[in-house]
Structure 1
Amino acid sequence: MRRYARAMTGDQMAGDLCVEAMLQEHVLKPQPTEAPLPKTRIDLFSLLDSILADPAKLPVTNLSVPAFQNLSSRSRRALFLTAVEQLDSSAVESILKIGPEELANVLKEAERDLASSLATEVLIIEDEAMIAFQLKEIIESLGHNMVARATTREEAVNQARATRPGLMLVDIQLADNSSGLDAMDEIFKFHKVPSIVITAYPERLLSGRENEPAFLIPKPFRADHVKTVISQALLTQAAS
């Protein structure tokens, strides 16, 4: 809740004060019998959002996440709850007190406005030319640019060092029989960058290895799924 409030108010102290105000009013303060304590995470987020949605209750601050600057308050809240907190649609509808169609429209508007704010250089680590081309078309449709493509571990490390990308799309099995995960490990030593693994071998990521990717897309992939995960990865990075 503190992460959500801080991102929405643009200030650490202001966000924490919103959470404190919610807890004081709805948890710590004695409640009438007909107003039971919140029982679920969704209940707590709903109470907090009622504070964040009221401009009169918020301090005037500059948003700490620059990518949010062009988004309305409701768009920011909807996008953050779905992409960063990863709540399902019904939960977000309950928190924001809107219906399914309205949420879909809000998210579509938010993603469109967010795309230009999050535009970045992308390194594609993929040895199959056709798949690399498909990924290039997808990222360009979001306003991003493929700064380079690598097909081996060594090439990936060299390209990352030279271009310092803002996002990496990584295949596991590369042309020299090396692993894209090993390339990621090497790159992370000098450049921490949001990374999405796109692979036909998702079972290889279930070993409990260090630096397992937070974002995974199995092959064959759908373009809309790739677009959603890219936005999630960049938004999570921007809000961290």
Structure 2
Amino acid sequence: MASTETTTDLSAQLVTDLPFLRRYARALTGVQDTGDRYAMATLEAIVADPSTLAEDDSTKVGLFRMFHGIWSSSGAPMPEEADPSAPLEARAQRRLAQLTANTREALLLHTVEGFSFSNLARIMDIPQAEAEELVGRARAEMGDMVTGDILIIEDEGIIAMDLKSIVTDMGHTVTDVARTRDDAIAKGKANAPDLILADIQLADKSSGIDAVNALLKDLGDRPVIFITAFPERLLTGERPEPAFLITKPYSEDQVRAAVSQAMFFASSEHIEVAV
């Protein structure tokens, strides 16, 4: 009976933590399908040997640690191995190859997923001092490496100003700020951005998701970061969903990390890449 209860508790906790693993995996790969495949491979490994999670203080740490064992043994494809039918991914890999190994993983785990340095060290199987160094190096390397044009879709003026201040300070250019679906579509078509930063619920009850879908249909593929108070609703893996997601209330570090990651997957060749 105890074994059944333990299994039930583990399953319930995995259901709770899985959306956040999906968010992390998608941000690493820049693609929903690829990220979700890594997450599914992680679940399959846990199902095969649930005892591995017992080694950690929390199921979430164990889940991410298992993921990293799989990720580090395969990793993202290198530029020469990238699928030639997916030029966006190949371009991203060329940019990512300039980074020190494991830096962006450490930055996402610490800033976006909120893991402490001690848990980060456990997940990545490295000393805590090295984990802290990787996060610091990631901020230095990614902060100035890729800059481009950003469209902000946000109906709350104070939040829009805050986001604009953060990304401008990072070296990006804000092409415009839109408050409604129709406003976003018009401004996005008038001045095509490299990246879109969008809230989901807009001023006139319209949808930021609808605005983004309309823009991508017209402008072509480019990274999008959605901002929502309910990330688990957009991380089910059951339909087309975002690869980049920030949870409200957000921190400046979360925005900086997400924008830096997403910009590596921008489609435009005119964006500046420091060498």
Unmatched tracts of structure 1, length 5 or more: 1-6, 8-39, 53-62
1:146-165 CA-partner distances (Å, limit 9, x unpaired):
11111111111122222221
Distance in 1 separating the partners of 2:107 and 2:233: 25
Q: Which residue of 2 aligns with 1:115?
A: 143
Moved over 6 A (4+): 83-88, 206-209
Distance in 1 separating the partners of 2:97 and 2:143: 11
Distance in 2 separating the partners of 1:44 and 1:206: 20
Distance 1:90 1:66, change over 3 A: same
Matched, 1:89 2:113: no
Matched, 1:205 2:234: yes
Distance in 1 separating the partners of 2:185 and 2:191: 10
Superposed, 1:187-226 pairs within 5 Å as: 187-190=215-218, 191-202=220-231, 205=234, 210-226=239-255
Identity %: 35
CA-CA distance at 1:79 after TM superposition: 2.4
Q: Which residue of 1 aligns with 2:257?
A: 228
TM-score computed with the length of structure 1 as normaliser: 0.61
Amino acid across the alignment from 1:211: P
Unmatched tracts of structure 2, length 5 or more: 1-28, 30-65, 79-91, 268-275
1:85-142 CA-partner distances (Å, limit 9, x unpaired):
9997336642xxx422223223322332222221111100011110001111111232
Q: Which residue of 2 aligns with 1:66?
A: 95
Q: Which residue of 1 aligns with 2:199?
A: 171
Q: Which has the higher contact order (CA 8 A, sep 6+)?
A: 2
Q: Which residue of 1 aligns with 2:181?
A: 153
Match of 1:79 among 94, 99, 103: 103
Distance in 2 separating the partners of 1:45 and 1:221: 27
Amino acid across the alignment from 2:134: V
1:200-225 CA-partner distances (Å, limit 9, x unpaired):
35465368774321222222221112
Distance 1:42 1:117, change over 3 A: closer
Q: Which residue of 2 aligns with 1:183?
A: 211
1:169-194 CA-partner distances (Å, limit 9, x unpaired):
11112122210010111111123221
Distance in 2 separating the partners of 1:222 and 1:120: 21
Distance in 1 separating the partners of 2:266 and 2:129: 28
Amino acid across the alignment from 1:200: A
Q: CA RMSD in A?
A: 3.6
TM-score computed with the length of structure 2 as normaliser: 0.54
Matched, 1:138 2:166: yes
